[in-house]
Structure 1
Amino acid sequence: MFECVFKFQGLDVEIAPDALETMLAHRQRGFFSSEAGGQMFARLSPGKWRIEVATGPRHGDRRGRFHFWPNRKAEQDEINSYFKQGLDFVGDWHTHPENRPHPSSDDYRSVANIVRESTHELPGMLMCIVGRENPPDGLWMSFHLRDGKVATVQYPDGAAPNKESYRRRKFI
Structure 2
Amino acid sequence: MRPPIFTKADGGKLEIGTYALTRLFYFVQDTPNKNEAGGLLLGRHIVDSTDIVVDEVTVPEPGDIRRRYGFYRARRRHQAIIDRRWRESGGTCVYLGEWHTHPEDHPTPSDVDQRDWKRKLRDDIFDGDYLYFVIVGKRSLRIWEAAKRGSHCMLIGEHCHFGADGVENDNPT
Note the alpha carbon deviations across 1:8-63, whole angstroms, 9 max, x for none: 11231100000000010011111121000011111112211100001111111001
Letter in 2 for 1:60: G
Q: How many residues align?
A: 156
Secondary structure of the corresponding residue to residue 32 of structure 2? coil
Calculate the TM-score normalised by the size of structure 1: 0.85
Residue correspondence of structure 1 range 23-102 to structure 2 within 5 A: 23-45=24-46, 46-84=49-87, 85=89, 86-102=92-108
CA contact (8 A) 1:8 1:151 kept: no
2:146 to 144, 147, 155: 144
1:108 to 104, 114, 121: 114
Q: Give the aligned partner of residue 159 of structure 1.
A: none
Secondary structure of the corresponding residue to residue 76 of structure 1? helix
Kindly report the root-mean-square deviation, in angstroms, between the aligned alpha carbons of the 2 structures: 1.6
CA contact (8 A) 2:38 2:101 kept: yes
Displaced runs of 4 or more, over 2 A: 162-166
Over the matched positions of the two proteins, sequence identity in percent amounts to 26
**Structure 1: distance between partners of 2:157 and 2:59:** 28
Residue segments in structure 2 that go unaligned for 5+ positions in a row: 159-168
1:131 to 132, 137, 152: 137
Letter in 2 for 1:6: F
CA contact (8 A) 2:41 2:95 kept: yes
Letter in 2 for 1:14: E
Calculate the TM-score normalised by the size of structure 2: 0.84
Note the alpha carbon deviations across 1:94-126, whole angstroms, 9 max, x for none: 000011111111111111111111122421200
Cα displacement (A) at 1:164: 4.7
CA contact (8 A) 2:144 2:157 kept: no
Q: Once structures 1 and 2 are overlaid, which stretch shifts more, 70-79 or 115-124?
A: 115-124
**Structure 2: distance between partners of 1:83 and 1:127:** 20
Secondary structure of the corresponding residue to residue 78 of structure 2? helix
**Structure 2: distance between partners of 1:154 and 1:36:** 21
> Residues 165 and 30 of structure 1: is their aligned pair in 2 closer, same or farther, counting only changes over 3 Å?
closer
